[in-house]
């Protein structure tokens, strides 16, 4: 996550605990949910993060928890996840355990140096709100590959030549990372009571086909006072 290679190239890759989600995930067998993902936002269950249930079919599911690094301590994500799983899926079997950190602070200032491009978590390209980084890493990896091929053909892998990578990946995902950061910064400040207010405010709305930003927009319209900092997300839209 904190890229050592980036540091060797003079890029400040240090992350503060508040910029990381510390995560634990179990692959469970025997989960009765094959058709929808579940997200639980709660300071009690997952301080500064969330718990998730992602079904994979045939009774298997990835069930995990992310805790903001500044609110976590040794072993906390695993302890909270074990408690969550015992409550929710008492008869499920743990097949696999994964632990790790995900950057949730938005992108690093610079992702290129002479002969170097940072991609994925090393470049902090994971979504600050969801912590999801696989899709972005793949999309941006394609750009990095194309730029690398072009630069090698030209015989120039200088920082200037690799500037095309920096420009293209920011054009592709920069705005969505910025938006997610604004939303996450507010959500981590909310109490469980506030989070319940938000959830109840849209409980009669059909959100099953709504994208993440559509839901953010709906929550803002329904709770403008609580989510006042979100106004900057909608300003340019008039
Ligand atoms: C518990 C957990 C659950 C997650 N769930 C999801 C999810 O459901 N969806 C999603 O989109 N994202 C999820 N993420 C985030 C996602 O895993 C990362 O954003 C994504 O894997 C980033 O890809 P990457 O290639 O940048 O880094 P990585 O996947 O971490 O790959 C880096 C690779 O480099 C290797 N490496 C490191 N140092 C060296 C070295 N010196 N020499 C050689 N190799 C080295 C590592 O071993 C590793 O294989 C999750 C993260 C965690 C921790």
Whether residues 165 and 201 share a domain: the answer is: no
Cβ atoms 86, 65 nearer than 8 A:
no
For residues 18-31, average pLDDT = 96
Q: Is 115 left (phi over 0), alpha (psi -120 to 50) or beta?
A: left
Q: Are residues 29 and 51 in the same domain?
A: yes
The range of the structural domain enclosing residue 175 comes to 112-186
Q: b/e for 201-212, b at 16 or more Cβ within 10 A?
A: ebeeeeeeeeee
Return d(Cα 114, Cα 158) in angstroms, integer.
4
- Model confidence over 163-221: pLDDT tens digits? 999 999 999 999 999 999 999 999 999 999 999 999 999 999 998 888 888 999 999 99
Q: Give the dihedral sign, CA 36/42/44/48.
A: positive
Q: Is 123 in the pocket of ligand 1 (CB under 6 A)?
A: no
* 126 and 138 both lie in a single domain: yes
Q: Is the CB of 121 under 6 A from ligand 1?
A: yes
Nearest to 36 by CA among 51, 16, 15, 53: 53
Atom 3, ligand 1: which residue's CA is nearest?
25
Smallest CA separation from ligand 1 atom 52, residue? 100
SS3 category, 180: helix
- State the total domains in the chain: 3
Residues 223, 200: Cα–Cα separation, whole Å: 11
pLDDT (mean) for 68-89 = 96
């Amino acid at each position: 996550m904190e890229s050592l290679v980036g540091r060797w190239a003079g890029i400040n890759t240090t992350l503060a605990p508040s910029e990381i989600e510390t995560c634990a995930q179990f692959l469970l067998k025997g989960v009765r949910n094959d058709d929808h993902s579940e997200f639980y936002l709660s300071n009690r269950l997952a301080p500064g993060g969330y718990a998730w249930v992602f079904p994979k079919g045939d009774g298997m599911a990835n069930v995990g928890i992310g805790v903001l690094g500044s609110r976590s301590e040794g072993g906390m994500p695993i302890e909270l996840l074990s408690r969550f799983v015992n409550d929710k899926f008492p008869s499920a079997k743990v097949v696999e355990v994964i632990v790790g950190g995900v950057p949730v602070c938005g992108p690093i200032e610079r992702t290129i140096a002479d002969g170097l491009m940072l991609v994925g978590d090393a470049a902090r390209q994971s979504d600050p709100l969801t912590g999801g980084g696989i899709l972005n890493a793949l999309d941006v990896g394609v750009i990095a590959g194309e730029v690398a091929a072009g630069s090698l053909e030209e015989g120039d892998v200088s920082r200037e030549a690799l500037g095309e990578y920096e420009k293209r990946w920011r054009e592709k995902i920069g705005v969505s990372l910025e938006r997610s950061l604004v939303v996450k910064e507010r959500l981590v400040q909310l109490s469980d009571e506030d989070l319940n207010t938000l959830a109840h405010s849209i409980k009669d709305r059909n959100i099953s086909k709504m994208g993440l930003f559509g839901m953010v927009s709906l929550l803002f319209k329904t709770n403008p006072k609580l989510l006042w900092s979100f106004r900057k997300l909608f300003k340019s839209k008039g």
